[in-house]
Amino acid sequence: MTSDLSTPAAPDGGAESGAVLDGNAAAGDFAGILASDPTTVTVRCGSCGSTQAFGQLSACLGGPGTVLRCRQCEAMVARVAKTPQGTWLDLSGSSSWLFLPAPGPA
Amino acid sequence: MTDTNATEGQADSSAEETPPAGNHWRKATLIGVHPQSWHSRTLVLDVPGWAGHLPGQHVDVRLTAADGYSAQRSYSLAEPATPDRVAVTVDLLPHGEVSPYLVESMELGDELDVRGPIGGWFVWEPGDPSIGDGPVLLIAGGSGVVPLVTMLRARKRAVDSTPTMLVYSLRGPRDLMYGPELEEMSADLSAPGSAEVRLVYTRKVPGGHPRPASHLTVEDIKPPSAWPEPLAARVYVCGSSGFVDHAAGLLHKAGYPDDRIRTERFGPTGVDR
């Protein structure tokens, strides 16, 4: 995995790629807030009710904050933003987060 | 780079208060470089206190300029866990801000900061009971091959015999990363730690390669006939967002259930602070 802001297209893979990635790429920021690895958390979308692993959510990075969207209905489920006042965590678009016991170091 | 060795050292010495993994920047020193393709290289970093990681996890890397401006990127860990050691393989993005420094300029002894390991979703550890003895299918687009090769290296190190195949989509011969290693790994499929490797060239095909240039097809991800229950395979896909969507579509078409597929996407996602 490679990421670099100023490049318009991904290094390979054929199809065009935008800045929409997945929850794996947002994990560093959320790991700084949550007590455990976020990528394995099962997140339920507050809009359509579908569940997906945090690591599979769509993620928009590089803006003033990081926005995570449901891969089924594209509703915003979570966002985090670092500001001079502090770090904002908005989970209002999700209805639940299920943290499974993690077996390995994460 | 800022000179904060003294304070960092003090913070590290308070072993009682270990912050959560992933939330702690550590000083890393470049101790080795290995070219991988004409536009990528592996950087080996000495990171005192690095306790280890799982194949497939990544690190955040932070560069800080003398004026305090800093840029942060994510890179997959390129080697199985070794104490005090972190390796990343970085692909040059010509107009990027960070990768040209890492691929072309950074010299042995230079420092940067790393944070991690991050992520427990896109991981495969040989012997993982949730996978059992079932086969493992790895599908890579471009530099998405990095975490998948780390999985193959861990499997080889563990002398694990889980049936495993890597399907690696790339533009042309000079984009091939880990070429000699993949060739050796797939030369004798009866050897311990070996894996079937399929190279899928999308634009330029080297002489002697049987497959014409085209994007990944259903035929390319068809499992080896020796796999007893191919649809029970755990599948890992890593590449650009477009590649991952394409590969996931092929997997669905081939009948793989969603819950067997794990994906990781990379792309232009830098966060500058």
Residue by residue, DSSP assigns B90-149 as EE--TT-SSHHIIIII--TT-EEEEEEEE-SSS---TT-TTTTT--EEEEEEGGGHHHHH
Q: For position A33, what pLDDT does the model report?
A: 86
Q: Would you place residue A102 in the very low, low, confident or very high pLDDT band (cuts 50, 70, 90)?
A: low
B contact residues 194-233, partner A, Cβ 8 Å cutoff: 202, 215-216
Contact A37, A65 (CB under 8 A): no
Q: Would you place residue B272 in the very low, low, confident or very high pLDDT band (cuts 50, 70, 90)?
A: very low
Task: Supply the ipTM of this predicted assembly.
Answer: 0.73
Shortest Cα–Cα distance, A92 to chain B (Å): 23
Q: Would you place residue B139 in the very low, low, confident or very high pLDDT band (cuts 50, 70, 90)?
A: very high
The residue of chain A with its CA nearest to that of B96 is A6
Strands B261-266 and B234-240: parallel
pLDDT digits (tens, 9 = 90+) for B190-245: 888 899 999 999 999 999 999 999 999 999 999 998 888 888 899 999 999 999 99
CB–CB contact A11 B93 (8 Å):
yes
pLDDT digits (tens, 9 = 90+) for B107-117: 999 999 999 99
Q: How far apart are CA B199 and CA B225, in angstroms?
A: 18
Residue of B88, B144, B147, B156 lying closest to B123 (CA atoms): B147
Q: For position B184, what pLDDT does the model report?
A: 95
CB–CB contact B268 A15 (8 Å):
no
Residue with tokens 């040059």: B92
A-chain residues within 8 Å CB-CB of B244?
13
Average pLDDT score over residue span B35-54: 95
B-chain residues within 8 Å CB-CB of A64?
none
CB–CB contact B122 A8 (8 Å):
no
Q: Is B103 on the interface with A (CB under 8 A)?
A: no
Contact B47, B88 (CB under 8 A): no
Average pLDDT score over residue span B246-273: 83
Q: For position B268, what pLDDT does the model report?
A: 63
H-run or E-run covering B27: strand B25-37
Average pLDDT score over residue span B64-81: 91
Q: Is A78 on the interface with B (CB under 8 A)?
A: no
Q: For position B269, what pLDDT does the model report?
A: 53
Q: Where are the beta strands (DSSP E) in chain A?
A: 20-22, 42-45, 51-53, 58-60, 65-69, 76-83, 86-90, 94-98
pLDDT digits (tens, 9 = 90+) for A25-70: 888 888 878 878 899 999 999 999 999 999 999 998 877 889 999 9
What residues contact residue B126 under an 8 Å CB cut-off, 6+ apart?
B154, B155, B158, B160, B162
Average pLDDT score over residue span B91-115: 92
Alpha helices in chain B (DSSP H): 5-13, 99-100, 145-157, 179-187, 241-253
Q: Is B156 on the interface with A (CB under 8 A)?
A: no
Q: For position B78, what pLDDT does the model report?
A: 97
Residue ranges, CATH 2.40.30.10, chain B: 25-118
Q: For position B6, what pLDDT does the model report?
A: 36
Q: What percentage of chain B exceeds 70 in pLDDT?
A: 89
Q: Which residues of B5-21 are buried (b: 16+ CB within 10 A; e: fewer)?
A: eeeeeeeeeeeeeeeeb
Structure tokens at B77: 């860990």
Among the partner-chain residues A8, A25, A31, the one whose CB lies closest to the CB of B269 is: A25
Q: Is A10 on the interface with B (CB under 8 A)?
A: yes
B-chain residues within 8 Å CB-CB of A15?
240-243, 245-246
Residue ranges, CATH 3.40.50.80, chain B: 136-265
For chain B, the average pLDDT equals 87
The residue of chain B with its CA nearest to that of A32 is B23
Q: For position B27, what pLDDT does the model report?
A: 96
Structure tokens at B233: 């395979």
CB–CB contact B240 A11 (8 Å):
yes
Architecture, CATH, for domain B136-265:
3-Layer(aba) Sandwich (3.40)
Q: How far apart are CA B17 and CA B74, in angstroms?
A: 26
> If you classify domain B25-118 with CATH, what class do you get?
mainly beta
Q: For position A64, what pLDDT does the model report?
A: 80
Q: Look at residue B131 and tell me whether its pLDDT is greater than 80.
A: no
Return the DSSP state at B79.
S
H-run or E-run covering B45: strand B40-46
